Structure 1
Amino acid sequence: MDTTLILANALIFALSAGLMLISSRSAGGIRGAVWFAGSNLSRGAAMLIIGANLPNLGRVRYPQPIAGVLVMTGVLMLHQSFAELLERKAILLRVQCGLVAAITVALVYFSLFPSRSSVPIAALHVVEGLLYLLVAVLVFRFSGKETAPVGWFTALALAIYGLILFLKAASDGDHRSAAAMAALMLMACLVTTVVTAFGFLSLSTTKLRLELLWRAQVDDLTGLLNRWALKRMALREIQRCRRAEHCLSLITMDLDGLKTINDAQGHSCGDVVLQAVSGVLQETVRANDSIARIGGDEFCVLLPDTCQEEAVLVAERLREEIDGLVIRYRGVNVQTGASLGVSSSVISGLDWQRLADDSDAALYQAKREGRNRVVLARSEEITGGEPRQWDESRLRVSRIS
């Protein structure tokens, strides 16, 4: 029975390692999957060394020190694989010292006392159980909201196996229950290996799916929503505002003079300006407002439950904040301005395309009338600062003394 379970565990370890290596590019990145595969190979080798000392399988000299070091090295690599997957490298560095110390102590102990008594075996099981519990805590604590069910189930399997190792250590001196406890431990190891492998694959697949979803909705440079994500958000808000009979407003904003900044200081400076403006937008509007970058220097702000008068005030506050924004870049101060168009469901109705078209038309009216101003759709100019001609001779770039 023990021989069959040991060989079954070794086979499952090998199959799981091969699966991780094959799917490493999709399983949370190459490094995490390779660490997981190495962990399974190390623990599988320990199983074979233990099995080699059973009847009809020959013998290995000093099996306990070798198997002990392989097992703890395997659990260490298991910890690193989940730390890579869950992106907790800072915690990994702190915990790694303790894990390496545990392996070093075990290596020295088993090298100095390579006896077949129950003391080193019990010590091995205690240390191994602690390491499994540590991995379980890592997986349980840092599985995200979307991956929580799979992460918690995987952590539970690891924790149960750690507790079984503690029970095995406590029963090593009891020869009457030793055989039953060994069989239980091998069965638990078999189940834990399968559950952990599927848990790792599920977590990595979910992580990949969320990353692709994030890339499909978010602008890489600014971290804001993109045009597609803004439209989806707007359609949901339109349905909600229609049911609640609330207003909905949209601000479309274009930066004044960004092309001149790019020509004078380079596109990397323009990227810094876009990121700084994105920060101003996020700090100025409400948490439930949606901000998107829909073009090179064009932004949109969706304002739920906001009438046109309030939307104009928000737009004017944004214009003032951007007008006063000073960006330091490679020894120079760079400033820009903004033209803004505002549309509201009061005039345009609760129709996304009409809201977008009207705010866009108001924006271009603001640019035609001198820029650095706010215009409400289908109205005269509402408010604005001093018009500027955004050519290179008027670009507000000054050396820092």
Structure 2
Amino acid sequence: MNLHLPTVLLFAGLLTAVITLGLGLLAWRERRAYLLHWTAALVTTFAGMLLFALRGTAPDLLTVVMANVLLLGNLLFTLSGYQRLFDQPVPVRAMLALAVLQFGVYAWLTFGVDDYSSRVLVFNATLVALSVASALVLRQQSRRLGWAVLALPIGAHLVQALLGLVRIGLTLQSTEPATNLMAASQGHVVAIMLNSLAAMALAFGFLSLHAGDLLEALEQQAATDPLTGLANRRGFDRALANEWERHQRRGSPLAVIVIDIDHFKQINDTQGHAAGDAALRHLGQVLRKHLRPYDLSCRLGGEEFCVVETDTDLEGARRSAERLRQSDLTYGQGPQGQALSMTISMGVALAHAGDQSPHDAIRRADAALYRAKQAGRNRVEVG
């Protein structure tokens, strides 16, 4: 059975149009940049397939040159969508330069030498390169999103790359090369059809990635204290378990600092709960400013906070706590313009070799915090 290429292209184009409509509505509703890029990728795919199907009835500038460049645009928009999703820089100038270069190459291979085989080789070499590049960008996010989310889009890219190599091989070994797309051999037609199906699978891969991104955002929200922006108890326990496993495996020191705002109830009672919230928010900002990016910090609840410093001995943690105590703890102004400032008490402890869990060190730090409170507050005690 011979496959009619224009029919294959029109059918694939119609499927793409339906998926494009759905993704476009989602992009309009969600207002996420990466969804707009992927919608643009599907639009260029649909336009390119439609122009290819019109080969022989419309000018070659549209059905050959622009059709190839539009399908290249699909690959570029797909890749740039990934980069926007993962907060990576998008090399806009390089992508535009590649599109302009490809336009010039296809124009030369159409109106200069009219070499269909060379057009096939250029297109599929570009397809292979950009498909592999996209798969590698996704592969780097395996720990973040998981293979359940990444399997479909990565698989689709690898299938597209493989089919591109197949078409390159068919072109190079052909003894009677075709003169245009509509005269392509059945091997090329089958490869084009399968590539179209892979493109459809990739569109569903976009939805999988979007769902993974939403799930990650929900998990992050569930693990974050909304008032301070620090980890809440749930998020802290999860991160602490990872650090504890690393501490046990490597034997690196792990220090704990438990922090409590002095006389917090008095702040709420005399200045109002808005002032209490401002004090909590400000302490969260102080922790983010003075701690290392990889230190763990969380709001345990109420006015109590906890910090875990990795690769830090007891003296280093004590100095870190002392810097926090001496930092600017002014969180607002009173009704007469006076500065509203708080003090904090801290307990510091180091994980021991015999500890069964990191909570053993936290309990020692808690006991040290209690001693700091008993000794007059606004001080650091070591446990």
The answer to whether the aligner puts 1:135 opposite 2:130 as a matched pair is yes
The superposition leaves residues 59-78 of structure 1 with CA deviations (integer Å, 9 ceiling, x where unpaired) of: 52324543431332243244
**Paired position in structure 1 for 2:39:** 37
RMSD: 5.2
Return closer, same or farther for 1:221/1:125 CA change in 2, 3 Å cut-off: farther
Cα offset for 1:195? 2.7
Aligned residue pairs, count:
353
What secondary structure does 1:282 align onto? coil
Instruction: Give me the whole-angstrom Cα distance separating, in 1, the residues matched to 2:49 and 2:242.
Output: 56
**Residues 69 and 103 in structure 1, CA contact (< 8 A), matched pair in contact too:** no
Kept in 2: contact 1:322–1:337 (CA 8 A): no
Deviations 1:94-126 (A, max 9, x none): 53133232244157547x82x9x851x334333
Structure 1 contact 274–297 (Cα < 8 Å) conserved: no
- Give 5+ residue unaligned stretches, structure 2: 248-253, 330-340
Which residue pairs with 1:277 in the alignment? Answer: 287
In structure 2, C-alpha distance between the alignment counterparts of 1:30 and 1:234, rounded to whole Å: 32
- How far apart, CA to CA, are the structure 1 residues paired with 2:203 and 2:124? 18
- CA 1:20/1:353 → structure 2, altered by over 3 Å: closer, same or farther? same
Give the equivalent residue in structure 2 for 1:96: 95
Per-residue deviation, 1:300: 0.4
Give the counterpart of 1:15 among 15, 18, 26.
18
Q: Aligned with 1:301: secondary structure?
A: strand
Report the CA distance shift for 1:50/1:240 in structure 2 as closer, same or farther (over 3 A): closer
- Aligned equivalents of 1:172, 1:44: Cα separation in 2: 32
Secondary structure of 1:199's match?
A: helix
Q: Once the two structures are superposed, what CA deviation does each residue of 1:339-365 show, in whole Å capped at 9, x if it has no partner? A: 11357999xx97999987886676466
8 Å Cα contact 2:48/2:71 also seen in 1 = no
Please show how residues 153-164 of structure 1 align to structure 2 within 5 Å.
Answer: 153-164=155-166
Give the Å deviation of 1:142: 1.8
Q: Which residue of 2 is the match for residue 70 of structure 1? A: 67
Tell me if structure 2 keeps the 8 A contact 1:14–1:40: yes
The 8 Å contact of residues 9 and 189 in structure 1, kept in 2 or not, is answered as no
Q: 1:84 to 1:6 in 2, by over 3 A?
A: closer
* Structure 2 counterparts to residues 206-355 of structure 1, below 5 A: 206-218=212-224, 224-232=230-238, 251-254=257-260, 274-282=284-292, 290-294=296-300, 298-302=304-308, 313=315, 316-323=318-325, 338-341=344-347
Where structure 1 has 5 or more consecutive residues not aligned to the other structure, the ranges are 54-58, 242-247, 328-334, 378-401
Asked if the contact 1:293–1:300 (Cα under 8 Å) also holds between the matched residues in 2, the reply is yes
CA 1:35–1:127 in 2, change beyond 3 Å: closer, same or farther? farther
**How many Å apart are 1:270 and its aligned residue?**
8.8
- For the pair 1:189 / 2:195, whether they are aligned, the reply is yes
How far apart in 2 are the matches of 1:165 and 1:254? Answer: 67
Deviation, 1:50, is 3.1
> What secondary structure is seen at the aligned counterpart in 2 of 1:97?
helix
Over residues 123-158 of structure 1, what are the superposed CA-to-partner deviations in whole Å (9 max), with x where a residue is unaligned? 433343243234323322222123465253233123
Supply the AA of the counterpart residue of 2:287: V
Task: Tell me the distance in 2 between the aligned counterparts of 1:152 and 1:326.
Answer: 49
**CA offsets, 1:223-265, max 9 Å, x none?**
7532222245568999999xxxxxx985321367998xx99xx
Cα distance, 1:160 vs structure 2: 1.8
Are residues 76 and 172 of structure 1, via their aligned partners in 2, closer, same or farther at CA, if it must alter by over 3 Å? farther
Note the C-alpha offset of 1:172: 9.1
Partner SS for 2:89: helix
The structure-2 alpha-carbon separation of the partners of 1:209 and 1:138, relative to structure 1 and needing over 3 Å to count, comes to farther
Q: Distance in 2 between matches of 1:364 and 1:35?
A: 55
**Greater Rg, structure 1 or structure 2?**
1
TM-score, normalised relative to structure 1: 0.65
Matched, 1:6 2:12: no
Tell me the SS of whatever aligns to 1:253.
strand
Task: Give distance in 1, aligned partners of 2:129 and 2:319.
Answer: 51
Q: State the Cα distance separating 1:196 from its structure 2 match.
A: 1.6
Code of the aligned partner of 1:80: F
Distance 2:310 2:227 in 1: 25
Query: Aligned with 1:90: secondary structure?
Result: coil
Is the CA contact 2:117–2:178 (under 8 Å) kept in the aligned structure 1? no
Give the TM-score normalised by structure 2: 0.67
User: AA paired with 1:12?
Assistant: L
Read off the aligned partner of 1:86 and give its amino acid letter: Q
Q: Show the counterpart of 1:392.
A: none
1:126 equivalent in alignment to 2:125: no
For residues 159-213 of structure 1, what are the alpha-carbon distances to aligned partners after superposition, in whole Å with 9 as ceiling and x for unaligned?
1233244346544952599422332332232232123223222223223222322
CA contact 1:219–1:226 (8 Å) conserved in 2: yes
Q: CA deviation at 1:13?
A: 1.9
Secondary structure of the structure 2 residue equivalent to 1:68? helix
Report if aligned partners of 1:41, 1:74 keep a CA contact under 8 Å in 2: no
